[in-house]
Structure 1
Amino acid sequence: MNYDIVVLGAGISGISAAYHLKEGGVNSVVFEKNPSWGGMLDNFEINGFRFDRFVHLSFAIDEHVKEIFAKSTDFYTHTPDPFNYYRGYWVKHPAQNNLYPLPSGEKKMILEDFKKRKLKDVSEIKNYEEWLRVQFGDYFAENFPIPYTRKYWTVEPKNLETKWVGKRIYLPSIEEIEEGCETEKTPVTYYAKEMRYPKKGGYKSFLTSMVKGIDIRQNKEVIKIDIEKHKIYFSDGTQCKYKKLVSSLPLPELCKIIENTPKEVVEASEKLMCTSGYLVSLGFNKPDIPKHLWFYIYDEDILSARVYSPSLKSPENAPEGCSSLQAEIYFSRDKKINLSEDEILQHTIEKLIKMNVFKEDDLVVKNIKKEDYANVVFKHNIYENRKIVLEFLEGCNIKSIGRFGEWKYLWSDQSLISGQMAAEKILRELPDKL
């Protein structure tokens, strides 16, 4: 088969690329290796409980993205009010300006350390650990974000650069920290003011308006790309030709399947690091098990980094009279978990019970799933290696999109925009190129 434009991957960036091409009057075909579309935004059901494939809430501010999401589905709007679990204490998020529940001695150490921290210009800061110590002082850094970095990013913070941080971490004034030590009635300072989630059908329902009319071929895994002949080979023995190619495949995977990829490009792609993740999904026979939409866990003896509630996002995600939670656990080539999936599942259940989140008799559904690609890790060599790979792909006339196609810290709305930008670039090229 011959196609003018082929899109690889039916996640949000691939769907967005095909949708915006169609909006511009150009058809494409999308090939997806899985039996359903949605990528990381997909979901699955167990005994009437719906769980997203990975955890999502929308706080998009781009008006075009918000319009697409709004015309796709009705949604709930949640006000962020996350919490943190730290050594038996439940602390409002972000912890740095909500220390009220902690013992007075510990609050005093954090406050004193914050006041005497060594201030530096951003240009002088060499790594993320140093950034954390400069922002919060040694005691808070060593007991809160440094352990959490090991859990979430799976590396020592000194091995991370800092450009990715942006506005993701709140930097309070000394007055805010002092207030947070004295009272729990502090304002919400989370970086998003509201979070949106579909009323029905899970997070992927936000994409339904884009999917309509798009040609998506499922169960089509790409095993080889011949860039000279513009030919794609699939695991089912079929093949096709293309004139233009858009890919949301992870850069290391894409470099493996492009025929005759230069050695230096393959090596650069292999140096790009990401986390993988286990998602533990739990269903309960009571409606009120989750007390928070989501919470973070700092304790390193607990594998879970974050826990969300699908049933609080939308009651439709659980049977009537029931509720649910999902816990995220991260690992990577730098930090392996030497436990079986059953052991990880059991560990997660036991720790959450010990934290008094639920009782064993409440549990009616338990599941664990692994995702090979969870988050991009911003080690110091990321930019040079990413540049080598992306310049090679550009030379192959392949437009690489999405979180793992651009190898950036993209949220779902940014991934949608990534696909949109690729489509708009193709539309500008079409009069001369096709």
Structure 2
Amino acid sequence: MKNIVLGAGIAGIAAAYELNRNDIKSVIFEKNNDWGGLLDNFEIEGFRFDKFVHLSFASDKYVNDIFYQTEFISHDPVSQNFYKGHWLKHPAQNNLFQLEKEEKEKILADFKSRKDKDISEIANYEEWLRVQYGNYFAENFPMVYTEKYWTVEAKDLETKWVGNRMYKPTLEEVEQGIVSSETPNTYYAKEMRYPTKGGYKSFMMPMVKNLDIRTNSGVNKINLSNKTITLSDDITYEFDNLISSLPLTEICKLINDVPSHVIAASEKLNYTSGYLVSLGFNKPDLADKLWFYIYDKDILSARVYSPSMKSPDNVPEGCSSIQAEIYFNKGQKLDLSDAEILEHTINKFIGIGLFNEEDLVVKDIRSEKYANVIFDHHIYENRKIVLDFLEKNNIISVGRFGEWEYFWSDQSLLSGKNGAIKLLEKINKKPIS
């Protein structure tokens, strides 16, 4: 029986791993020159950078039994926010102490005068933000950040994705955070973990040991009628079963004779792409924040973090590093060259006092087409059309972009595992508990 997995990110790896645990062999085809997907990393002159920020706070036993076979460093989930020259503890909504008196008064007054609405009455994310935090804070903090991170206005997003990702403080917590910097950490995770060596993808090492992963093997065509895939080198493989972690927007371009309404639905699915600006320094202590968020409109970067703080193994001895994320919509790059974006980022960071020009020994910019799924108002109907088509044609779709969900790495791993279980139940013709 020929079982093929498309994509060697964490979901594809997890699917093949779970099949292998049940004595079912598979082949993974990966278009890049290494496995890992968005959990992969790259090195420049001894500096290692992950593709986007990754820290684990997984609680699922299945995930942790895999991840924590690898030695790791534990971090307190302490992050900060940069806003108009001020450094605020995270989350900002209940840590406003550093702001000027007048601005704190505006935030508090609007917080007290919020409209009391049931979640069923809230039409979009902008309204949700105003109801939770009041108009002034919503307009100057999360609504600005939404445009930087999600690349759309808050009113264009629905709200089911929010979950516990946005802290909702009480009036007492807001008032305490206005008069004192001594506030409890209200981040939704209690501990963040990162491999001691090898970057975040090292957590995946226990899964890849006995897998057949074929890199530099992008898919050009999927023929459902004769159950074959054709790779970029024009070699064709037959399959009996197919698990895909490819983005829904991509797989529909590869399959023969996809109905026009399915193609149309896939093209309406929205997502962010991202630049990664990676900077290495010749001093050990320039990067002193594990990660932070930037709310200023005139700074392109939305989120910044320190690979060297995550693990000293990520930099040469005596050095430190940071990496910034800048987002753009659906593969449509900003109207600036990569060199201009890199220069802008460096100059802005020097301007806010993160480092000096002479401290830089590595500076790099690159981009990833797929960063996050955008939860606009039509995501669920369009996603369902595509997933129903794939299921009808016996393609099991897994992962962040295969299920088109807001998955963290542990959730993507479980998505891959669950996809494998679906296939095992099909092969064994009985449910697997």
Q: Give the TM-score taking structure 1 as reference length.
A: 0.98
1:390 aligns with 2:380: no
* Map 1:208-357 → 2, pairs under 5 A: 208-333=205-330, 337-357=334-354
CA contact (8 A) 2:274 2:328 kept: yes
Q: Secondary structure at the residue paired with 1:185?
A: coil
Q: CA RMSD in A?
A: 1.0
Which of 41, 44, 47 matches 2:42?
44
* Map 1:5-404 → 2, pairs under 5 A: 5-71=3-69, 73-333=70-330, 337-404=334-401
Aligned residues: 430
Mapped to 1, the partners of 2:80 and 2:201 lie a distance apart of 26
> CA 1:82/1:341 → structure 2, altered by over 3 Å: closer, same or farther?
same
CA contact (8 A) 1:159 1:379 kept: yes
Match of 2:407 in 1: 410
CA shift, 1:421, in A, is 0.3
**Amino acid in structure 1 at the alignment position of 2:9:** G
Mapped to 2, the partners of 1:53 and 1:143 lie a distance apart of 29
CA shift, 1:66, in A, is 0.8
CA shift, 1:147, in A, is 0.4
Q: Which runs of 5+ in 1 are unaligned?
A: none
**Residue deviations 1:285-314 (CA, integer Å, cap 9, x gap):** 000011210000000110000000000000
> CA 1:339/1:106 → structure 2, altered by over 3 Å: closer, same or farther?
same
CA contact (8 A) 1:286 1:321 kept: yes
**Residue deviations 1:76-120 (CA, integer Å, cap 9, x gap):** 010111000000000000000000000011111100110011110
**Amino acid in structure 2 at the alignment position of 1:13:** A
Identity of aligned residues (%): 63
Mapped to 2, the partners of 1:343 and 1:63 lie a distance apart of 45
CA shift, 1:432, in A, is 4.1
CA contact (8 A) 2:272 2:331 kept: no
CA shift, 1:149, in A, is 0.3
Q: Secondary structure at the residue paired with 1:295?
A: strand
**Amino acid in structure 2 at the alignment position of 1:195:** M
Q: Secondary structure at the residue paired with 2:74?
A: strand
Structure 1 runs of 4+ aligned residues shifted over 3 Å read 333-336
CA contact (8 A) 1:12 1:207 kept: yes
CA contact (8 A) 2:330 2:369 kept: no
Q: Secondary structure at the residue paired with 1:373?
A: strand
CA shift, 1:336, in A, is 5.1
Q: Secondary structure at the residue paired with 1:405?
A: coil
CA shift, 1:416, in A, is 0.1
**Amino acid in structure 2 at the alignment position of 1:161:** E
**Amino acid in structure 1 at the alignment position of 2:244:** S
Q: Secondary structure at the residue paired with 1:404?
A: coil
Mapped to 2, the partners of 1:36 and 1:114 lie a distance apart of 49
CA shift, 1:54, in A, is 2.1
CA shift, 1:129, in A, is 0.2
CA contact (8 A) 2:331 2:369 kept: no
CA contact (8 A) 1:82 1:293 kept: yes
CA shift, 1:431, in A, is 2.7
CA contact (8 A) 1:82 1:295 kept: yes
CA contact (8 A) 1:154 1:334 kept: no
Q: Secondary structure at the residue paired with 2:68?
A: helix
